[in-house]
Amino acid sequence: MSDKLIITPRTKVLQLIEAYPVLENVLIGYVPAFSKLKNPVLRNTVARIATLQQAATIGNVKVEDLINRLRSEVGQDLFTENSNVTYNTVKPDWFDTRLIRNELDAAKMLAAGEQPVNQVITELNQLETGSIYKLIAPFLPAPLIDKAISLGIKHWLVKEGEDMYIVYFFKNGSEMDSN
């Protein structure tokens, strides 16, 4: 049955490596940040929800190149669709440290084997208009940012180091504005 999995940007990382175990090392070789997949906690939390689109963003590689590299390993046809997602890495006008109302360090939850997505989304939904939520994560939390974008919440992503990302989420009155 695993031969039936067609690799696309929406394929989950865990789904991919369970269907094609040989692709784990290919993925890690192409996106070195994914060497963290060897950690059972991250494998069962992040890999379960992260898509290959998000893996490409984390690895700063073109999603088409990643998909085609993985597909070529298992004999699938080349992928041509272009659906790059970009994250805001430029300090926005709305940012002001005085507006930060809530902060979460996801590393602590992940180390305990917990997935912070539901807690963060709940807290973002409860965030008052004109406020900022600060998230600290040991990797680029692409699934979380994507979910926040879908809710109309603005973000600013800051990479502080190889294992430290800060995402500021801003809830303004008009959720129709772009991020």
User: Which helix (H) or strand (E) element contains residue 165?
Assistant: strand 164-171
pLDDT, tens digit, 9 for 90 and up, residues 124-163: 999 999 999 999 998 878 778 888 888 889 999 998 887 7
Length of the chain: 179
At the topology level, CATH places domain 97-171 in Translation Initiation Factor IF3 (3.30.110)
pTM strictly above 0.75 = no
Which of these CATH numbers, 1.10.3910.10, 2.40.37.10, 1.20.1630.10, 1.10.287.110, describes 2-73?
A: 1.10.3910.10
Exposed e or buried b per residue across 110-140, where buried means at least 16 C-beta atoms within 10 angstroms of its C-beta: beeeebbbeebeebbeebeeebbbbbbbbbb
Alpha helix positions (H), 20-157: 23-30, 40-49, 52-59, 63-73, 106-111, 117-126, 142-150
Task: Please give the average per-residue pLDDT across 61-71, as a whole number.
Answer: 89
Which sequence spans correspond to the domains of the chain?
Answer: 2-73, 97-171
In the chain, the N- to C-terminal Cα span, in Å, equals 40
pLDDT at 82 over 70: no
Q: What is the pLDDT of residue 93?
A: 94
**pLDDT at residue 81, as a whole number:** 56
